[in-house]
Amino acid sequence: MAQTGAATSAGQAKGAAHSSHNGRIEVVEFSLGKERFAIDLFDVREVVEYTTITKLPNVPPYVRGIIDLRGDITTIIDLKDRLKISEKSQVAVELSRIIVLDEKAVGSKVGILVDDVTSVSTFEENQVDYTTASINNEDTSIIGIIKRKVRVKEKEINELIIWLDIRQLLKDINFGARQES
């Protein structure tokens, strides 16, 4: 039990270090397959429509390639591959979205390929369950699970949104000299 308490404290400390403002959390919500995910709003520069991605040789499978975004070469990470989500997309790749990350947040010009961006949302700190983030101690990229109450057929249920630490998720990727201008 002490481990759970320690994990909870660690998760809350981790969550507090993100876009929490007066006990509120601001995130960009998106879907990958049937699951909902979120990343900190302040780690996002913009959301763009899918564009042709130029494949790069000799890169990990989750590096989809590069795009020219208004003159800036931007590396595109397939978040499904990075998270090992094997479920096929229900959306044609041409209808998917690219979340362009803030270069200051991740240290490079990077975008993440997602099925759809659903909203920008604000949640209260007490809507986040930090304990479930510690299920897999190896994966420290999950900050917590955001619970949102929704009505489905006259019944109120919790919709679960997996809150990711995109900085942690991408920190081991070496973007190298390709990003230098």
* pLDDT (tens digit per residue) in 95-140: 999 999 999 989 899 999 999 999 999 999 999 998 766 565 556 7
Q: Residue 14: pLDDT above 50? A: no
Query: Quick one: pLDDT at residue 91?
Result: 79
- The pLDDT tens digits for 68-91 are 999 999 999 999 999 988 887 777
CATH topology of domain 2-174: OB fold (Dihydrolipoamide Acetyltransferase, E2P) (2.40.50)
The ranges assigned to domains in the chain are 2-174
Contact (Cβ atoms closer than 8 angstroms) between residue 116 and residue 97: yes
Please give the mean pLDDT across all residues of the chain. Answer: 83
pLDDT at 180 over 90: no
pLDDT (0 to 100) of residue 92: 85
The one-letter code for the residue type at 166 is I
User: If you ran DSSP here, which 8-state letter would residue 177 be given?
Assistant: G
For residues 44-81, b (16+ Cβ closer than 10 Å) or e, as one string?
bbebbebeebeeeeeeeebbbbbbebeeeebbbbbbbe
State pTM to two decimals: 0.82
State the average pLDDT over residues 154-165: 91
pLDDT at position 93: 87
